[in-house]
């Protein structure tokens, strides 16, 4: 789609807006490298893109936005980078939670949260408590998250509850995931051009439409989200049927 083909705000009424958008926010490091900047600067600029995406989702009427912020594999990165990311998240919560609450946005952090620093866990619990009754947009931050880890934890929960094997079905598994009660993503967006799902929501994206852009995450803006929604709107979803 060329720039001239990207729909304007006045045209969104003709588009089918996804109820749930999930985003793999990729390319922070490459963005910084291209500019001969430290990788942490890419993460800092990436947080600006997330704020823009949240605003755009509210404007377009998206009800659920799920973003891949920090994976279980990311713990293997250099200690300095991991520490910066934890501090960036902490400061972002401090800076943004009032505005999120004011705009009726509910925030949840999903993943192996117990692996995070205790002070960050406290801030997470506080932010979730403050915004729990909001319903304009549900913002899900996948943190210390991995799709295989999520499925492993779900199965452990099922076994712990002594569920009989013949009663296990898809609904039970879905209800045992971190995302219990959240509809599966209609649209999965990946930035930076990589053609893989990187252990993200492996159960939930079974029938998600996928849209990949070469745009690096720090450069991702409302016009790109609108382009993805426009592309999604033109697809026919069959869910395995005819």
74 in catalytic set: yes
3-state helix/strand/coil string of 175-231: HHCCCCCCCCCCEEEECCCCCCCCCCCCCCCCCCEEEECCCCHHHCCHHHHHHHHHH
Catalytic residue among 14, 26, 153, 169: 26
CA atoms within 13 A on the CB side of 195: 0
Can you list the alpha helix ranges (DSSP code H) found in 61-202?
Answer: 79-102, 118-131, 147-160, 170-176
Verify whether residue 26 is a known catalytic residue. yes
Which is the catalytic residue, given 74, 101, 103, 199?
74
- Report d(CA 221, CA 67) in Å as an integer: 15
**Number of CB atoms found within 10 A of residue 188's CB:** 26
- Please name the residue that has the structure tokens 């520490």: 83
Catalytic residues: 26, 74
């Amino acid at each position: 789609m060329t720039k001239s083909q990207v729909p304007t705000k006045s045209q969104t009424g003709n588009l089918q807006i996804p109820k749930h958008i999930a985003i793999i926010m990729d390319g922070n490091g490459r963005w910084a490298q291209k500019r001969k900047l430290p990788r942490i600067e890419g993460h800092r600029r990436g947080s600006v893109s997330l704020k823009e995406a949240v605003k755009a989702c509210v404007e377009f009427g998206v009800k659920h936005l799920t973003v891949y912020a920090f994976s279980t594999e990311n713990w293997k990165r250099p200690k300095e980078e991991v520490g910066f990311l934890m501090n960036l998240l902490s400061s972002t919560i401090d800076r943004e939670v009032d505005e999120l609450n004011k705009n009726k946005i509910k925030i949840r952090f999903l993943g192996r949260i117990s692996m995070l620093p205790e002070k960050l866990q406290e801030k997470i619990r506080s932010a979730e408590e403050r915004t729990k009754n909001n319903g304009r947009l549900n913002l899900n931050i996948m943190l210390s998250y991995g799709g295989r880890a999520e499925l492993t934890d779900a199965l452990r929960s099922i076994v712990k509850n002594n569920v009989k094997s013949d009663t296990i079905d898809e609904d039970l598994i879905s209800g045992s995931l971190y995302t219990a009660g959240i509809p599966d993503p209609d649209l999965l967006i990946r930035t930076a051009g990589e053609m893989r799902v990187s252990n993200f929501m492996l159960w939930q994206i079974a029938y998600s439409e996928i849209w990949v852009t070469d745009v690096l995450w720090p450069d991702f803006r409302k016009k790109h989200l609108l382009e993805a929604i426009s592309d999604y709107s033109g697809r026919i979803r069959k869910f395995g049927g005819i």
